Chain A
Amino acid sequence: MSETTAHGQSPHTQALHAQDHGQQHPIGLYFFVWGLLFVLSAFSYMVDYLGIHGYMRWTLILLFMMLKAGLIVAVFMHMAWERLALVYAILLPPVLVLVFVALMVSEADYTIFTRLAFFGAAP
């Protein structure tokens, strides 16, 4: 509990104060990203409203989703200004979820195959 040392003067507190001013960015940037998120959400809603189907639909949904997620993480959550050690520690592990997705796609394919082969069309 070294935090109970002298108030305001220790190099420790100075370091903390330096951190307090670490993430200052112009408000215009936040408004710009906010606007972009609105436009991208409107686009993804339009995909459904206009009734786009098939590969075009899935591509557009994924595109707008990734753009929105990227803007939120990079700007709103300040990831763009963090050191790479933190960026990699947080953003690389979720990529491994894709391996899990691949496993479960193959599993689901097998399940529906057995359901159709042995139970007809019943669930």
Chain B
Amino acid sequence: MAQTIETHGEPGLRPAGLRGVAADFSSDQRAFKTASWGKAMMWIFLLSDTFVFGCFLIAYMTARMSTPVPWPNPSEVFALHIGGQDVPLILIAIMTFVLISSSGTMAMAVNFGYRRDRHKTAVLMLLTALLGACFVGMQAFEWTKLITEGVRPWENPWGAAQFGSTFFMITGFHGTHVTIGVIFLIITARKVWRGDFDVERRGFFTSRRGRYEAVEIMGLYWHFVDLVWVFIFAFFYLW
């Protein structure tokens, strides 16, 4: 389970561009020369998650294209009654801004982590977790509102029955990802605050030395959750 060390070759003299791709993949020991084991594995997990959400969005596309019944207008379905008039999609817009802000605070946390400023890193990660929890809270509000209005996975008052099933499946899976992210953010923030990554304290589960790269890997997951929302926002809510 150890990280590999290069036993020969000059680390500073790696070719760039396509020649570098060929050299890296045909080299011994490891293909991803500058990404650590943990970071490469997180990227590969995110790639597999991309396919999961890709399949969901494709299923949604197929359902929406193949039904002769009109699709409910998301602009009206997700409107909120504020100040005497219906504002279209306003809750979704707020959720989008909240998630983007959490991505921003996460990027800051990674930055301060590499500067070894553990208090700022931990506070920014907790702020990220708080924004993520706000997002999940608003999603719970949105689900409650739609369910009281009569949306079910098999029917809804406005049009094609597939609207409910795709909505609950896609936003439900995304909300689950956000929730898991919040939990892991809190766990990692606690480790940062305690100074685990300054003294290289070993993880309770993996027994690997704690490093500030854990914050960046956590960040990769969190930004991915934001990334998926960009696609859901575009295809499900705006299309």
Chain A residues in the interface with B (C-beta under 8 A): 1-3, 7, 11-12, 15-16, 19-25, 27, 30-31, 33-34, 37-38, 41, 44-45, 47-49, 57-58, 61-62, 64-65, 68-69, 72-73, 75-78, 82-86, 88-90, 93-94, 97, 100-101, 104-105, 107-109, 111-112, 115-116, 121-123
Contacts and interface: CB of A to CB of B under 8 A. Distances in A.
Interface of B: 1-3, 5, 14, 16-18, 20-21, 24-25, 31-36, 40, 43-44, 46-47, 50-51, 54-55, 58, 61-62, 65-69, 75, 88-89, 93, 96-97, 100-101, 103-104, 106-108, 110-111, 114-115, 160-161, 200, 208-209, 211-213, 216, 219-220, 223-224, 226-227, 230-231, 233-234, 237-239
Q: Taking chain B's interface residues, is the majority helix, strand, or loop, or is none over half, making it mixed?
A: helix
A119 B172 CA distance: 32
A16 B108 CA distance: 22
Contacts of A38: 97, 100
B100 A34 contact: yes
A61 B103 CA distance: 21
5 contacts: A3-B3, A27-B108, A76-B219, A94-B50, A123-B160
Contacts of B238: 44, 47-48, 57, 61
- Most B CB contacts (10 A, CB to CB) among A2, A104, A109, A115 go to A104
A109 to B, nearest CB: 7
Given A72-B223, A84-B18, A84-B20, A100 B88 contact: no
Top 9 closest A-B pairs, CB basis?
A: A108-B65, A85-B24, A111-B66, A34-B104, A65-B234, A108-B66, A2-B2, A97-B54, A76-B223
B30 to A, nearest CB: 10
A115 B3 CA distance: 57
Given A12-B2, A49-B88, A115-B68, 15 more contacts: A27-B108, A34-B101, A38-B100, A41-B97, A49-B89, A72-B226, A75-B107, A76-B103, A76-B106, A85-B25, A86-B34, A97-B54, A105-B65, A108-B65, A115-B66
